[in-house]
Structure 1
Amino acid sequence: MSSAGVFFSSAALIVLSYLIGSISFAVLVSRCMGLQDPRSFGSRNPGATNVLRTGNKTAAALTLLGDAAKGWLAVWIVLRVAPHLQLPALAIGLSAIAAFLGHVYPVFLRFKGGKGVATALGVLLALQPWLALATAATWLIVAYATRYSSLASIVAAIFAPLYYLFGGNIAWEFDTVICLCIVVISAVLIYRHHANIGRLLTGKESRIGGKK
């Protein structure tokens, strides 16, 4: 394929990844189950943690699965067509970032989305399943020990690129571009938790299962 064809194919897949990531399962699930819009209570964040504050664990679980699945699907599509279209690793990495940013800044919700934890996990699952497993285990351990979802997310975001870096060429094939893209995702995720960090430092952060 010509360089122009590779460029336009990459651009189209990046846009597609962003649009897939922009689908808000928190809003969709809440509407389908007759629940209050997650943007109208608690943290006003359209994510699984805020949906859980309604007390409906099924809705929260469906939101979590949906947000993770869209991240996985977006990157999986790109990975499937990349060899046929001769796409570079940069196209895959940017598509991964686009899917994540779609959740964080969704065009369908006027660019006001969630923190992106579940979607980021889905992206990692598509890129490297063992990396996703290690990152998810880190989240679970911290969440179980502290009952702070935000703290668990921040710690997992810090460790994800480190896992990829040190596991490279041992548990999986290392790629510098993909590593940098994971760093970008982690950095944005941590930034999105800046308010949570402030509340954690002052002891005002709500715990998992609690109400704001």
Structure 2
Amino acid sequence: MMTLVFVVCAYLLGSVSFAVLMSKAFGLADPRTYGSGNPGATNVLRSGKKIAAALTLLGDAAKGWIAVVLAIMFGAHSAQGVTTIALVALAVFLGHLFPVFLKFKGGKGVATALGVLLALNVWLGLAALGTWLVIALVFRLSSLAALVASIGVPVYAMVLGLPREWVLASAIMSLLLIWRHKSNIQNLLAGKESRIGSKKTAQ
């Protein structure tokens, strides 16, 4: 029962969209109405309001981190603690992808996944972040950076010797991240993907 409570709460927390909240707070257009239409930090950045994008990034990462940290603090000592933590990690991530508050149409989950990974293991999170930063700085393509980092995460988790449940959870998140970037993959192949910092375009 406690595991179910943790999972449901994590999903609801993940469903909170900081892209929408920050856009409203700063008087910006709904991020679902311009650019990629994705309620995430990269798309909010296209509004030109860097502080709103930064707060969106922090908020989305924080909810992933908080959900997993609370599961570790209060559920790690139970008989199924490791499994509970893995399920909570997936639940908060799925909440961001399919938020109940936005008719199940959410973001792509990069920031939330980062928060989850940092909570599971700080070195895992830093490895993913480092991979993202290197690719993003070189190519200025957020989607490409996310895809490369996603591929690396399960490998990093195994190298760090994390519990198999956590390795599996990270692999599932990676697959979902890649799936959520399917349109970006098509744009990358066609050379049409928007670069980091590009302005919004009307739709």
TM-score category, normalised to shorter length? over 0.9
SS at match of 1:205: coil
Q: Does 1:205 align with 2:193?
A: yes
Whole-angstrom distance in 2 between the partners of 1:84 and 1:159: 29
Residue 187 (structure 1) aligned to one of 175, 199, 203: 175
Which structure: larger Rg?
A: 1
Aligned to 1:163: 156
Matching residue of 1:11: 4
> 2:6·2:88 contact (CA, 8 Å) conserved in 1?
yes
TM-score (normalizing by structure 1): 0.92
Structure 1 position 77, deviation (Å): 0.8
Q: Unaligned 5+ residue runs, structure 2?
A: none
Amino acid at match of 1:23: V
Q: Deviations over 1:89-145 (max 9, x none)?
A: 211101100000100000000000000000000000110011101110100000000
State the partner residue of 1:171: none
Indicate the percent of aligned positions where both proteins have the same amino acid. 56
Asked whether the 8 Å contact 2:68–2:120 carries over to 1, the reply is yes
1:9 and 1:85 in contact (8 A); partners too: no
**Partner in structure 2 of residue 140 of structure 1:** 133
Residue 30 of structure 1 aligns with an amino acid whose one-letter code is: S
- Which residue identity is paired with 2:110? V
Provide the aligned length of Structure 1 versus Structure 2: 200
| 1:76 aligned residue (69, 78, 82) | 69
The match for 1:34 among 12, 27, 33 is 27
Distance 1:116 1:49 in 2: 11
What 5-or-longer segments of structure 1 have no aligned partner? 1-7, 169-173
Is residue 123 from structure 1 mapped to residue 145 from structure 2 by the alignment?
no
> Which residue type is aligned with residue 120 of structure 1?
A
Q: Deviations along 1:143-174, whole A, 9 cap, x unmatched?
A: 00000000000000000111111122xxxxx2
Distance in 2, matches of 1:83 and 1:183, equals 21
Deviations 1:1-52 (A, max 9, x none): xxxxxxx110110001000111000000110111111011111100000000
**Bigger mean CA offset, 79-88 vs 95-104:** 79-88
Residue 114 of structure 1 aligns to a residue whose secondary structure is coil
Distance in 1 between residues matched to 2:23 and 2:10, nearest whole Å: 23
Give the TM-score, by structure 2 length.
0.96
* Deviation of 1:85 (Å): 4.2
